[in-house]
Amino acid sequence: MASVKTMMTIRATAMKAIGGHPHRFYSITGRPTFLGLMPKSSGHSPPSYRRRPRPSSTISTGTRTRSPGPSTLRNNTVVEIPPVEMKANDVCVKMLAAPINPSDINRIEGVYPVRPPVPAVGGYEGVGEVHSVGSAVKDLSPGDRVIPSPPSFGTWQTYIVQDQNVWHKINKDSPMEYAATITVNPLTALRMLEDFTTLNSGDSIVQNGATSIVGQCVIQIAKFRGIHSINILRDRPGSDEAREMLKKLGADEVFTESQLEVKNVKGLLTNIPEPSLGFNCVGGNSASLVLKFLRQGGTMVTYGGMSKKPVTVSTSSFIFKDGAGSVRQISHSFGQGTWKTRKPT
């Protein structure tokens, strides 16, 4: 295998829960080793490995989760994955970069509803370079830049062998951090804006979790389409800087949760119509703030629960938010794992 310059390696710093820092993005290049979600006891040293020839197979090291549940964080181990023989339709991809999303952490903890059987390698999206192809592969060649589409488990490893249908070729000019993260968050934002109600230029939406990647994508897509966005932030240090950042992305209104502790939140809006669509990724009281902004018959889409608290809905929202005497639809829930094959109803 030709050596390449190592751009960045992940050490045992992927999560605060295991004594490190929460990296959002990392690159994997160079030697066939993955330094990822290692237990505290292993420190920051790389696992031992031996170079092996790869004429018709690939071998990699990765972090395998051995059992679901909260104790999983203590049970992670770095293991060497056995060689995988290349079949005629297979493509071997050298992973270059992959993000760490909250859902990845939840899968490792064993609390995310959609997860692979264990033991498993983490990671759900990323970008890689074709290393070798099977004899029947015609549309991909070594050196091509590819992403898994639809997303698939196991992107936190140095080499992946999958059927050619798993890989989607992309332009090499695409920035690596964009290519590695295009599959989950931007598409989530796009689908939520398109699939639940018809939005036209001049309409508005409201969302909490506005500084999340999904939230930022919602703001930018909405701005491009002439749709106003009302955004809710948590009260915390740096909220003023976050507000300015969101404004530069195209946000029309940005409020902290404490600013919305008023009887009539809609009175805070200036020249913006009542939103017909709201997005909730926080839960708890923050979800009720989204509901307060919605017009009668509006729809709130719940796609996350970062506060780990139940969605709170006031009695008045159930009774008075719709002319017929009830909220037409309080919440849609969705998981992209099933959404990629069917449209929510």
Segment 296-321, tens digit of pLDDT: 888 899 888 888 888 877 777 766 66
pTM equals 0.73
78 bridge partner residues: 63
264 contact partners, CB below 8 Å, separation of at least 6: none
Catalytic one among 49, 112, 159, 303? 112
Q: How many whole angstroms separate alpha carbon 153 and alpha carbon 157? A: 10
Res 176 pLDDT > 50:
yes
* CATH 3.90.180.10 domain locations along the chain: 16-181
Q: Provide the pLDDT for residue 248.
A: 97
Q: Find which of 174-183, 259-268, 322-331 is predicted with most confidence, using mean pLDDT.
A: 174-183
Within the chain, all domains assigned CATH 3.40.50.720 are found at 185-339
Residue 325 is predicted with a pLDDT of: 31
- In angstroms, the CA 107 to CA 116 distance is 8
Please measure the distance between the N-terminal and C-terminal CA atoms of the chain and give it in whole angstroms: 49
Q: For residue 102, say if its preceding peptide bond is cis, omega within 30 degrees of 0.
A: no
Q: Is the pLDDT of residue 99 over 90?
A: yes
How many CB atoms sit inside 10 A of residue 120's CB?
Answer: 18
Per the structure block, which two tokens stand in for 230? Answer: 């009302």
The letter for the amino acid at 291 is L
Q: What share of the chain is helix, strand, coil (3-state, %, to 5)?
A: 25, 25, 50
DSSP one-letter code for 149: S
Q: Is 49 a catalytic residue?
A: no
Looking at CATH, the fold of the domain delimited by 185-339 is given as Rossmann fold (3.40.50)
When pLDDT is averaged across residues 113-118 and rounded to a whole number, the result is: 79
Beta-bridge partner residues of 329: 299
Q: Which residues contact 202 (CB under 8 A, 6 or more apart)?
A: 226, 227, 228, 273
With a cut of 90, say whether residue 272 has pLDDT above it. yes
- Tell the CATH topology of 16-181: Quinone Oxidoreductase; Chain A, domain 1 (3.90.180)
Residue-wise pLDDT tens digits, 13-36: 222 222 333 333 444 433 322 323
- Tell me how far apart the alpha carbons of residues 43 and 55 are, in angstroms, rounded to a whole number: 34
Percent of the chain residues topping a pLDDT of 70: 69
DSSP lists the bridge partners of residue 92 as: 132, 161
